[in-house]
Structure 1
Amino acid sequence: MKIGILIAGHSPENLRPEHGEYDVFFQNLLAGQGFTFQTWFAVDGELPDDVHAADGWLISGSRHGAYEDLPFIPPLEDFIRAVYAAAVPLVGICFGHQIIAQALGGKVEKSDKGWMVGRQVYNFEGEAVALNAWHQDQVVELPKDAKVIAYNDTCPYAALGYGHKAFTVQAHPEFSNGFLGKLAESRGRGVVPDPLIDIAIENTEKPTDSAILARRIGAFFKQKEPQS
């Protein structure tokens, strides 16, 4: 099964030599599940010609806001709506979670709850799941088809399901603790309040449940469309 990765933002330049671009993160996250991958850099205006160029689509995170007036966003939203209409499985992570919601009629804005960085624990349909996060923006109004799958006290729409068509997550299951710690030091200082950065770095000593999300994303991509 071929997964098309749509990169909505480049990884930090100073960390790229060691960690690579974000498509590598997702290939590592989903390794061993029988997928092949092809990458398009949507942030640079690169999009597939056909929604069937892959068997499933994954939209990455980004330093940009889904609501920003940037040239790559309207074409990406059009592609999202076309993928959704064609019922090709679609997964969104962080910015991907937000832009899918926005493209389908929801609303995204900077949360009045502020930054969420580092290890966060979410309620995934009754299961406590710890994942690394890095965001200030949140989905604040749901599209009509969206169902809340995960939440916590500061992120009420932490994961959304759209039937067999889409599955999106606000956190970053693809971020290892090692990468998160380096990101916090190199990009967080001066942007995110220092106490939050300090806690995020301290929490890199604790495990996350990224493997749970890897299996869940893999299962979503492989599910069969319900018969009408």
Structure 2
Amino acid sequence: MKIGILQTGHAPEELKPASGNYDEMFRALLAGHGFSFETYPVLDGVFPDTAEAADGWLITGSKFGAYEDHDWIPPLEDLIRQIHARKMPLVGICFGHQIIAQALGGKVVKYDGGWSVGHTEYRLHGAPVQLNAWHQDQVVDKPAEARVIGQSDFCANAFLAYGDHIWTAQPHPEFQNAFVYGLLRTRGKGVVPDAQLQAASETLDRATDSTQIANEIADFFKKVRTR
């Protein structure tokens, strides 16, 4: 099964040697499940010719806001709607979660409640999961067809599903603790409150449930569907 990775952001240059770029993190997360991958750096204007160019799609995180004025956002929203109309499997993580919601009628804002950073507890399908977060933007109004399958105390729409063909998550199962520590140093200072950065740094010795989420994403992609 070929997964097309729609890359909407780049990791900080100084962190790439150890952690890889965002598409590489997802390749590592989903390794061993029998997928092949092709990356389309849409933020650089590189798009697939058609929604049928892959069997399933994954949209990465980004430092940009879904509501910002960038040339690549409208065509990405058009592609999302094409994938949705074909009922092809689509996964969105962080920015991907947000842009899918926005493209399908939801609302994304810079949340006035601040940031969620570092090790965070969510409830997914009613059970606790621990994942790394890095976001201020949130989906505050979900699309009418979306259903909430997971949340945290900070983020009410943290995991959304649309039918049986779209699965999205606000947290980052692809972010290992070492990468988040790097983000605290490279992108956090002067943006995230210092006290929150310090508190987040003290949680990065804790294990996450990234493997569980990787298995859920893999099962989601492989699910037999009739269009």
Shared fold (TM-score, shorter chain, > 0.5): yes
Identity of aligned residues (%): 56
Task: Give the C-alpha shift of residue 18 in structure 1.
Answer: 2.2
Q: Secondary structure of 1:34's match?
A: coil
Q: Which residue of structure 1 aligns with residue 131 of structure 2?
A: 131
Q: Secondary structure of 1:15's match?
A: helix
Task: Give the C-alpha shift of residue 29 in structure 1.
Answer: 0.4
TM-score normalised according to structure 1 size: 0.98
Q: Structure 2: how far apart are the matches of 1:120 and 1:172?
A: 10
Q: Secondary structure of 2:157's match?
A: strand
Task: Give the C-alpha shift of residue 226 in structure 1.
Answer: 4.6
- Cα deviation digits, residues 3-36 of structure 1 (max 9, x gap): 0001001111121222221111000100111111
Q: Structure 1: how far apart are the matches of 2:153 and 2:128?
A: 13
Q: Which residue of structure 2 aligns with residue 10 of structure 1?
A: 10
Q: Structure 2: how far apart are the matches of 1:178 and 1:89?
A: 30
- Cα deviation digits, residues 112-148 of structure 1 (max 9, x gap): 2110000110011211000001000000111111000
Q: Structure 1: how far apart are the matches of 2:202 and 2:187?
A: 16
Q: Which residue of structure 2 aligns with residue 43 of structure 1?
A: 43
Q: Which residue of structure 2 aligns with residue 143 of structure 1?
A: 143
Q: Which residue of structure 2 aligns with residue 157 of structure 1?
A: 157
Matched residues, number: 227
Q: Which residue of structure 2 aligns with residue 61 of structure 1?
A: 61
Q: Structure 1: how far apart are the matches of 2:147 and 2:66?
A: 20
Q: Which residue of structure 2 aligns with residue 113 of structure 1?
A: 113
Task: Give the C-alpha shift of residue 172 in structure 1.
Answer: 0.4
Q: Which residue of structure 1 aligns with residue 183 of structure 2?
A: 183
TM-score normalised according to structure 2 size: 0.98
Which consecutive aligned stretches of 4+ in structure 1 deviate over 2 angstroms post-superposition? Answer: none
Q: Structure 2: how far apart are the matches of 1:199 and 1:226?
A: 46
Q: Which residue of structure 2 aligns with residue 24 of structure 1?
A: 24
Q: Secondary structure of 1:203's match?
A: coil
- Cα deviation digits, residues 82-139 of structure 1 (max 9, x gap): 0100111000000000000000000000112110000110011211000001000000
Listed as ranges, the gaps of 5+ residues in structure 2 are: none
Q: Structure 2: how far apart are the matches of 1:211 and 1:198?
A: 26
- Cα deviation digits, residues 34-67 of structure 1 (max 9, x gap): 1110000010111101111111000000000000
Q: Which residue of structure 2 aligns with residue 98 of structure 1?
A: 98
Letter in 2 for 1:222: K
Q: Which residue of structure 1 aligns with residue 197 of structure 2?
A: 197
Q: Secondary structure of 2:130's match?
A: strand
Most deviating of 15-24 and 66-75: 15-24
Q: Over the residues paired in the alignment, what is the CA RMSD in angstroms?
A: 0.9
